[in-house]
Amino acid sequence: MASNNTLQAVILAGGQGTRLRPLTLSRAKPVVPILNRPILAYQFALLKAHGVSDVVLACSYRVADVRAALGDAEHLGVRLRYVVENEPLGTGGGVRNASDLVSGTLFVLNGDILTDADLTAMRRLHESRGSRTTIFLQSVPDPRQYGLVETDASGRLRRFREKPTADDEITTSTVNAGIYLIDAELLGRIPRDRPSSIEREFFPALIADEIPCFGWCPTAYWRDIGTPSAYRAAQIDLLHERVDIPLSPLGKPLDGSWIGGGPVAPEARIIAPSVVGAGAALGPRCRVGPGAVVGDGSTIGPDARIEGAILWERVEVGAGAVLQDCVIGADVKIGAHARVGPEVVLESGAVVPEHATLTR
Ligand code: GDD
Ligand code: MG
C-alpha cells in the first residue's frame, strides 16, 4: 500500500497482441519496440512527468519476457511491480488483481496506447468535479473498434458501450482512449478471480448506480498501436516530433536524425527524420530515411534503400535491397536486391531471397 501522496498507476498489459501478429509471435506486446525502446518506456515517461512513479503491471501472457526486458524499470524512471494472472482475467479482473497494491486515486492505462495527454490536467478535473472515475476520451473518425462514451453537457458519463456492432448503436464519435482515474475503493466492485471487462461491466455499472463519473476530452496526441499500420504510423509521428513525451535522446543527434554510433560508410546517406540504433552499420551509398528506424546491431548493405520502414534488431539488408513503408522483425535477412513494399510485416527470423518482391 502506498502512502496517500504517492501517485500510483496500474498498466493493463495482459493481452495477447493478436492484431499485431506476426510481430507478437516472437515478442510480448508490452515490450514491442517503438523507436528501439519498449512501448511501455513511453508510458513510464509520461506517468513520471505527471508525478506517478509507482507502477503495477497487470500481466498474464509472456510475463517472463516482459520481466526480462523491463525488470524493476528503475532505469526507466519508475518503480515497477508485477501482478500475474494465472488465467487471463480481462481488463476488469486485471485491475482487480492489482488492487491489493494500490490505494487512493490511481491511474489505469491500457498498455498499448501512445499519448502525450496532460495527466495532471486530468487529475485536476477529476478532483474539481468530485469524480470517482474519470475516462480520457478522444473523438475519432471511425469509433467502431473502440468503447463509445456518451456524456451529458456537464461531461458526466451517461453511457458506455464497448464496440457496438449495430449501426444504430453508433451514436457518438467520442471513444474511450484507454486511460482512467479511478477511486481505488471502487475496485471492490470487480469480482476477484473470474474474468471480467472494465469496459463492458465496471463502467456501465458505475453509471447505472449513479456514481459520479466524468469524461475528459483534451487536445492531445493519441493512438492505439494495436495493429501493424498504427504501430508503424506511431513511430513516424514520433520521428516527426508530433508526440510530446520527455525521453532521453535516441542516440547522437545528426541533422534531424539520431544515430547510434555504429560504422557509417562515407557515402551512406541518412535522411531526416530517422533513427539508427546502437551499433547498426550502414554500407556504402545506402540511403536510410526519411522515416526510417534501424534496429540495434542491424546492417544495411551497399546501395540499399530504407524509407518509412521500421527494422527491429540485427536485421541484415543485402546490397541494393529496397524497403518501403514496412515493418521487419528481429534477425530477418533480406537478400540482395529484394524489394519489400508498403504495409508488409515480416516476422522475426524471416528470410527473404535475393531479388524477391514482397507486396501486400
Ligand atoms: N492484465 C490483463 N489481463 N490485461 C489485459 C487482458 C487480460 O486478460 N486483456 C487485455 N488486456 C490489456 C491489453 O494488453 C491492452 O493493454 C488493454 O488491456 C486493452 O486491451 P485491447 O485488447 O488492446 O483492447 P482494445 O484496443 O480492443 O480496446 C480497448 O482500448 C480502446 C482504446 O485503445 C478498450 O479499452 C476500448 O474501450 C478503448 O476504446
Ligand atoms: Mg488496444
The confidence score (pLDDT) of residue 76 equals 87
Mean pLDDT score across all residues of the chain: 94
pLDDT tens readout for residues 306-332: 999 999 999 999 999 999 999 999 999
Residues forming CATH 2.160.10.10 domain(s) in the chain: 252-358
As a whole number of angstroms, the distance between CA 190 and CA 195 comes to 10
Q: What single letter denotes the amino acid at residue 69? A: A
Query: CB of 176 closer than 6 A to ligand 1?
Result: yes
Tell me the fold of 7-239: Spore Coat Polysaccharide Biosynthesis Protein SpsA; Chain A (3.90.550)
| pLDDT tens digits along 227-254 | 999 999 999 999 999 999 988 878 888 8
Q: Ligand 1 pocket, 143 CB below 6 A?
A: no
CB-based burial label for 26 (10 Å; 0-12, 13-18, 19+): middle
Kindly state if the Cβ of 59 falls inside 6 Å of ligand 1: yes
Which pLDDT does position 193 carry in this prediction?
Answer: 81
CB 312 within 8 A of CB 38: no
The pLDDT of residue 5: 60
Per-residue confidence band for 17, with pLDDT thresholds at 50, 70 and 90: confident
Q: Which three cell numbers stand for residue 81?
A: 511491480
CB of 178 within 8 A of CB of 136?
yes
User: In the predicted model, what is the mean pLDDT of residues 137-154?
Assistant: 95
Condensed to tens digits (0 to 9), the pLDDT of residues 45-77 reads: 999 999 999 999 999 888 988 999 898 888 888
- Please return the burial class of 50, using the count of CB atoms within 10 Å of its CB with bins 0-12, 13-18 and 19+: middle
Phi and psi angles of residue 76, each rounded to the nearest 5 degrees, phi first: -105, 10
Residue 208 phi/psi, 5-degree rounding, is -60, -35
Q: What percent of the chain has pLDDT over 70?
A: 99
Q: CB of 101 within 8 A of CB of 83?
A: yes
Q: What is the pLDDT of residue 1?
A: 41
The neighbour count for residue 71, using CB atoms within 10 Å, is 11
pLDDT band at residue 166, thresholds of 50, 70 and 90? confident
24 CB near ligand 1 (under 6 Å):
no
pLDDT at 172 over 50: yes
What's the pLDDT at 4?
A: 46
pLDDT above 60 (res 290): yes
Q: Which three cell numbers stand for residue 212?
A: 459520479
Question: Does 224 sit in the ligand 1 pocket, CB within 6 Å?
Answer: yes
- What are residue 347's DSSP bridge partners? none
Predicted TM-score (pTM) of this structure: 0.94
List, for residues 176-209, the tens digit of each pLDDT value.
999 999 999 999 999 998 999 999 999 999 999 9
Residue range(s) in the chain whose domain bears CATH number 3.90.550.10: 7-239
Mean pLDDT of 89-116: 96
Residue minimizing CA distance to atom 30 of ligand 1: 178
**Ligand 2 centre from 212 Cα, in Å?**
26
Q: Which of 12, 32, 97 to mutate to test the pocket of ligand 1 (most atoms within 8 A of CB)?
A: 12
Q: What is the pLDDT of residue 3?
A: 42
Which CATH class for the 252-358 domain?
Answer: mainly beta
